[in-house]
Amino acid sequence: MKYSKSKISDEIALSYTRSLDGQLVAFELNDTFDFVTFSNATPISAQPGIYIITNPAGKNYVGHGGVLRQRIAQHSFGVMQPLRIVAIVGQAKPLDREEAAALERIVAQSLWPSSDLPDRNQHYPNGARVDDDQYATLQAGWASLCVAFRNTLPALARPWVGPEYAQIPVPGDGDLLIGGRRTAQRRGLKASIVTINGGYVIEKGSVVRAEPHDQKRRLFWATRSEGRYAGILVPDDAGLKLTRGVYFKTIAACSRFVFDTTETAIWQSPDDFGDWPTQKGA
């Protein structure tokens, strides 16, 4: 194919898939020769992007890099050779480092339900701070690439269906379906949680922080971007309001999502807050 970036064209003898919206292009690397070919195409391989590594068991690992060929090189040589590496970069324009990190999280969340990512990626990449327009463009690019993957790499044709914490698990035998409510208030923010299925649900109507204490907290920014995109979070006078419940395994994780803290003692009986609205009116 002929791939252009900044008016530079290079012939690359590799299998590739273009997203239908023109945002992303994916190169399929099946052996060392493919990697060397990709690596030598420096206008492409030296830019930020993500990679999906498939091992011989068919499981996938997702990563990103500011110089993509350097990150892929760490997986391309050695005793344990991957079955396949798919390198994804910007097509309409190069991705920047933050966009690549945000796309890495989107793809990992997309592949998790069907591909059972390895333990080291089990909690998903942290993502990055991108604005809502950038995030929506990345989501559209991945969705469009998934459509194209149906004909070339069907195992990867898995569109994003929402963040993992929006998927409340179905109770099994012996699981407590729902427990007592606890509430917390801090600086105009109010939230309530209930125990369910071995974890906790932050209830609909809870109000969470819009920005982190530390502006460098990438995971916090990622949850806000994806929450707004999915319609889970909407603007509120004090922060962002949940339009539906979200699930976390620990109270500390609930505190981190709502208040950007790991304190657990802030969750108390609702009787301590006389003005707390009922769930029906939340």
Tell me the pLDDT tens digit for each residue of 99-108.
Answer: 999 999 999 9
Residue 269 to residue 152: CA distance in whole angstroms? 54
Query: What's residue 281's pLDDT?
Result: 42
Quote the tokens at residue 210: 């819009």
> Which parts of the chain register pLDDT below 70?
1-12, 76-81, 113-122, 171-179, 270-282
Domain of residue 213, residue span: 181-281
Residue 223 to residue 165: CA distance in whole angstroms? 10
Residues 20 and 110 placed together within one structural domain of the fold: yes
Name the DSSP letter for residue 23: S
Other Cβ atoms closer than 10 A to 237: 7
Q: How many domains does the chain have?
A: 2
Quote the tokens at residue 34: 């493919």
Q: Reduced to 3 states, what is the DSSP secondary structure of residue 208?
A: strand
Within-domain flag for 58: yes
Residue 30 to residue 26: CA distance in whole angstroms? 13
Residues 118 and 186 placed together within one structural domain of the fold: no
15-18 and 181-186 strand pairing: unpaired
Within-domain flag for 228: yes
Residues 191 and 232 placed together within one structural domain of the fold: yes
Query: What's residue 171's pLDDT?
Result: 65
Query: What's residue 119's pLDDT?
Result: 46
Q: Among candidates 164, 191, 189, which has minimal Cα distance to 282?
A: 191
Query: What's residue 267's pLDDT?
Result: 95
Residue 64 to residue 48: CA distance in whole angstroms? 7
Query: What's residue 118's pLDDT?
Result: 45
Residues 104 and 57 placed together within one structural domain of the fold: yes
